[in-house]
Amino acid sequence: MQDVELLMPAGNLEKLEYAVKYGANAVYLGVVDFSLRAMRKGSLITMDNLKQAVDLAHSLGAKAYVTINIFAFNNDIKLLEASLDRFKDANPDAFIISDYGILNLIKRNIPNVDLHISTQTNTLNYESVKFWKDLGASRVILARELPIEDIAEIRQKVPDIELECFVHGAQCVSFSGRCLLSDYFSKGERKANHGNCTQPCRWSYKLVEETRPGEYLEIKQDDRGSHILSPKDLCLVKQLPQLIDAGVDSLKVEGRTKSLYYVSAVAKAYRHAIDDVLKNSSADMEKYFIELQKVGNRGYTTGFALGDNNGDSYSYDISKGLAGADFLCEFRSTSADGKSKLEFGEDYYLVKIKNKMFLGDEVEIITPDEQFTAKVEGIKNEEGEDLPLGNTNDDVYLKFSQAPKDPKYALVRTIGVKNVH
């Protein structure tokens, strides 16, 4: 069976590093002004650290793909022309492109870097794939709207190009993201296809009849209105054997704006699932589906993959993803061996609290190589004083009944699964 790439999002340098450590073969990243997921705050990948990000991925043994997949106006083309040298200097493994003009610019000015055709092009058939191949593309990222049997036919008809498809993450109500709702609701100030979507599909709506202004009619009887446009999240971990058998080269996870915990836990689940399938095509994927319920989601659906997309694919009651497990803390390294300073003894580790933790809590610890339950046996502050709990955003020292062999990338969460949608 062929090698299959796990492609994870990299919203910043730290997430990039964790994604690779937890199992990604490649990461995709974007910068403000050229990407559909360009955050405006927090730790970002920018033109100033783009090369650093690509170099970091390469140093970890992974590939890095840079997204330039906006729908480009003249001003965008001019801005790209002024930035070409910096993109060239970054030297990624590929550019992800949807616009013909951007494709022409990249081909002329950076001809030695592969071209991946974005899902924004809505590629649904083998003739379209042939078209992009003839233009010089090495890979096509297929539309989310394709059933697996169509993907298999595309692979049969076009065997000499790489095929990538989404397997996990948020979905758009519009056809492969071609949405104008955000533009309309923000009077053109928040363009969805320029990385600035307000996500109106996640808003709660009520119905007003034209001749009865002010009378708000429930579309669905609950006290919060109805999220009539909000799709559930995609999860195809159970369909990995069929996808791999269909000839997919790269399995892509959505989520450049998601948390460090999300990126790590999802990468770990899919890494082990893919490896399991490659060893045994009839492997049971249910345990990996349970693992994926522990990260934020709006309920899971197989979308169009099985050819039966319907109303059950929409999340009518929630718009914000709810995690099946709470992310409690991450280990923070302060010494060369990955352990905390040892003022209180070798059993204490410096952590950043993400959600309140109490002395005596039973927790689950995950690392790239381990996963086990443990008990919080001690909590201390920087002065070495015992604490009954660690508050959110605090840096404290914790002692566990069992510690990870390598704590550098260790994360801690609650045990089990809650909030199953």
Whole-number average pLDDT of the chain: 87
**Among the four given CATH numbers 3.40.30.110, 3.30.420.40, 2.40.30.10, 3.90.105.10, the one describing domain 327-413:** 2.40.30.10
Kindly state the greatest CA–CA separation across the chain: 73
Mean pLDDT of 178-201: 69
For 172-177, what is the mean pLDDT? 67
Residues above pLDDT 70, as percent of the chain: 82
pLDDT at residue 215 is higher than 90: no
User: Which has the higher per-residue pLDDT, 317 or 404?
Assistant: 404
Q: By mean pLDDT, which of 8-17, 198-207, 268-277, 288-297 is the weakest?
A: 198-207
Write out pLDDT tens, residues 268-285.
999 999 999 999 988 999
**Do 5-177+230-313 and 327-413 fold alike per CATH?**
no
Asked whether the predicted pLDDT for residue 219 surpasses 90, the reply is: no
HEC string of the chain equals CCCCEEEEECCCHHHHHHHHHCCCCEEEEECCCCCCCCCCCCCCCCCCCHHHHHHHHHHCCCEEEEEECCCCCHHHHHHHHHHHHHHHHHCCCEEEECCHHHHHHHHHHCCCCEEEECHHHCCCCHHHHHHHHHCCCCEEECCCCCCHHHHHHHHHHCCCCEEEEEEEECCCCCHHHCCCHHHHHCCCCCCHHHCCCCCHHHCCECEECCCCCCCEECCCCCECEECCCCECEEECHHHHHHHHHHCCCEEEECCCCCCHHHHHHHHHHHHHHHHHHHHCCCCCCHHHHHHHCCCCECCEECCCCCCCCCHHHECCCCCCCECCCCEEEEECCCCCCCCCCCCCCCCEEEEEECCCEECCCEEEEECCCCEEEEEEEEEECCCCCECCEECCCCEEEEEECCCCCCCCCCEEECCCCCCCC
- What pLDDT digit, counting tens, does each position of 388-417 carry? 999 999 999 999 999 999 999 999 999 999
Q: What is the pLDDT of residues 72-101, one digit of tens each?
A: 999 999 999 999 999 999 999 999 999 999
| pLDDT computed for residue 71 by the predictor | 85
Q: Report which residue type is found at 376.
A: V
Question: Please, which residues bridge with residue 336 across strands?
Answer: none
The pLDDT tens digits of the residues spanning 5-39 come to 999 999 999 999 999 999 999 999 988 777 655 55
More confident residue, 180 or 42: 180
Q: Has residue 304 got a pLDDT over 80?
A: yes
Class of CATH domain 5-177+230-313: alpha beta
pLDDT for position 289:
97
Tokens 């050229």, residue?
34
Residue 365 pLDDT > 80: yes
User: What pLDDT does 336 receive?
Assistant: 41
CA-wise closest residue to 233 among 266, 194, 281, 264: 266
- Model confidence at 112: pLDDT above 90: yes
Distance CA 208, CA 219 (A): 10
Q: Tell me: the pLDDT tens digits for 335-360? A: 444 455 555 667 899 999 999 999 99
Q: Is the pLDDT of residue 224 over 50?
A: no
**Is pLDDT of 178 > 80?**
no
Q: Which of 79, 82, 85, 80 is nearest to 97 (CA)?
A: 80
Arithmetic mean of pLDDT, 313-317: 61
> 């000015």: which residue's tokens?
109
Higher pLDDT, residue 340 or 45: 45
Q: Is the pLDDT of residue 229 over 70?
A: no
Query: pTM to 2 decimals?
Result: 0.87
Q: Given this model, what pLDDT does residue 255 score?
A: 87
Q: Considering the chain, what percentage of its residues have pLDDT values greater than 90?
A: 66
Nearest CA to 235 out of 273, 205, 207 is that of 273
Report pLDDT for 212.
Answer: 77
| Structure tokens belonging to residue 39 | 């955050």
What pLDDT is recorded for position 236? 97
* Domain boundaries of the chain, sorted by first residue: 5-177+230-313, 327-413
Asked if residue 115 has pLDDT above 70, the reply is yes
Q: Does pLDDT of 49 surpass 50? A: yes
Give residue 249's pLDDT. Answer: 98
Encode pLDDT of 232-262 as tens digits. Answer: 899 999 999 999 999 999 999 998 889 999 9
Q: Which residue has the tokens 């009651």?
A: 317
Helix 13-21 to helix 50-59 angle (10° resolution) is 20
Quick one: pLDDT at residue 372?
98
pLDDT at 174 over 70: no
